[in-house]
């Protein structure tokens, strides 16, 4: 076992997830390393893991199809959780970056990772990968609905990008306490969402 393996232990599920990103979007290992560093603020991943270690772990994956990721009832009975929903854009390649900027002047392609994380355990409960142009709020409902099948969600945190009536209505339907940042120009009119109106009024009183 090499030095890197002695210091870092990457869960097989994380290795498979990173392998999926690399193969699906044809990104270099250095970009995968950047993704790991970005995710480290949400989940328990070693932030300074090296790209060579990532490559070795991916090579050792024998069968993705036979891996058991759990079932829909995973987490039920463990008590309520606080969920954090966020999204981040990821560039798919860093090759020739200087040449692109200097001569081609072509916008670099990127994808967006939408994730829902258990605030206490730092475990990724659900995720979606989309084109970089997809708005953060578009995948809020699918993420939360998937998480609600596995866990009893007590409270949910999200930034202003997820502030809309549809998302608040979903939390009201699931009986989840909202902790979504409200936009500065938010209207106090309900517009079909009483829960959001109450949150806006509460914020404006502070």
Q: Is the pLDDT of residue 18 over 60?
A: yes
What pLDDT digit, counting tens, does each position of 90-138 carry? 665 555 554 455 555 555 667 788 999 999 988 888 888 888 889 999 9
Listed by start position, the domains of the chain span: 1-67, 77-206
Distinct helix (H) and strand (E) counts, the chain: 8, 5
Answer whether residue 149 shows pLDDT above 50: yes
Identify the residue with better confidence: 199 or 27: 199
Rounded Cα–Cα distance for residues 63 and 60 (Å): 9
Q: Does domain 77-206 have CATH number 2.60.450?
A: no
pTM over 0.85: no
Cβ-based burial of 115 (10 A; exposed 0-12, middle 13-18, buried ≥19): buried
What pLDDT, on the 0 to 100 scale, is given for residue 45? 56
Predicted pLDDT of residue 107: 58
> For residues 50 and 199, what is the distance between their CA atoms, to the nearest angstrom?
44
Dihedral angle computed from the Cα positions of residues 103, 105, 111 and 117, in that order, rounded to the nearest 10 degrees: 100
**In this predicted structure, what is the pLDDT of residue 44?**
58
């Amino acid at each position: 076992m090499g030095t890197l393996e002695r210091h870092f232990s990457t869960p097989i599920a994380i290795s498979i997830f990173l392998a999926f990103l690399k193969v699906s979007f044809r990104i270099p290992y250095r970009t995968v390393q950047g993704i790991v560093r970005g995710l480290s603020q949400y989940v328990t991943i070693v932030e300074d893991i090296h790209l060579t270690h990532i490559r070795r772990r991916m090579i050792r994956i024998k069968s993705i199809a036979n891996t058991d990721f759990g079932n829909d009832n995973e987490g039920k009975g463990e008590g309520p959780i606080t969920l954090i929903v966020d999204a981040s854009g990821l560039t798919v390649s860093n090759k020739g970056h200087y040449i692109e900027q200097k001569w081609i002047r072509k916008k670099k392609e990127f994808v967006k990772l939408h994730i829902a994380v258990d605030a206490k355990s730092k475990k990724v409960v659900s995720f979606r990968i989309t084109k970089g142009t997809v708005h953060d709020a578009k995948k809020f409902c699918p993420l939360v609905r998937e998480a609600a099948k596995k866990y009893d969600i007590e409270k949910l945190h999200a930034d202003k990008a997820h502030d809309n009536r549809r998302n608040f209505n979903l939390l009201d339907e699931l009986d989840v306490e909202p902790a979504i940042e409200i936009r500065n120009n938010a209207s106090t009119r309900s517009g079909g969402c009483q829960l959001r109106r109450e949150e806006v009024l509460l914020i404006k009183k502070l």
